[in-house]
Amino acid sequence: MTSRKVFACSLTASVLALATLSAAWARQTQPPAPPRPVLIQPTAAQQRFRQAVQQSQVRDQLRKSEVEHQLRQEAIERTRRPALNRPASSSSTANDAQVDKAEQALDQLYRAQQRDRVQRYSDALLPQPVPQVSEGSVPARSSSSGGR
């Protein structure tokens, strides 16, 4: 009977050893938990700077767009001037109609772009929302500072 007890004890010890090894192996195969994101709340100065940069970019785009529009208008006027000096013909009226349609399309595009830029400029004036941190989502920092 003692050989059965020895066998049972050794079998139990082997099963426990295998269970311990398999548990340790399972812990090693699981990927580590991703680090928790740290929310960095911008300071008021950083927000003002960001808004100033956005406003400046939109103002620059508005000015650039205005200059481009003026250049297009001048180019259209230059194409019309020679037609005014020529005698009236059917080809010049067809050309004028095409120029008028192109000018209207460019004006519509220009106005839409300007409205978009003005909207983005006014959006840049609004303060950006700052995400609120709930008490349970960020772990409390320990007060031990390592002797500092």
Give this prediction's pTM: 0.42
Residue with tokens 């390592």: 146
CB-based burial label for 125 (10 Å; 0-12, 13-18, 19+) = exposed
User: Where do the domains of the chain lie?
Assistant: 44-127
Residue range 83-107, pLDDT digits in tens: 555 555 555 677 777 878 888 888 8
Task: Tell which residue, 80, 70, 74, has the closest CA to residue 110.
Answer: 70
> For residue range 14-72, what is the model confidence (pLDDT) as tens digits?
888 888 877 777 666 667 778 888 888 888 888 889 888 988 888 898 889 889 888 88
Over the Cα atoms of the chain, what is R_g?
Answer: 37
SS3 assignment, position 135? coil
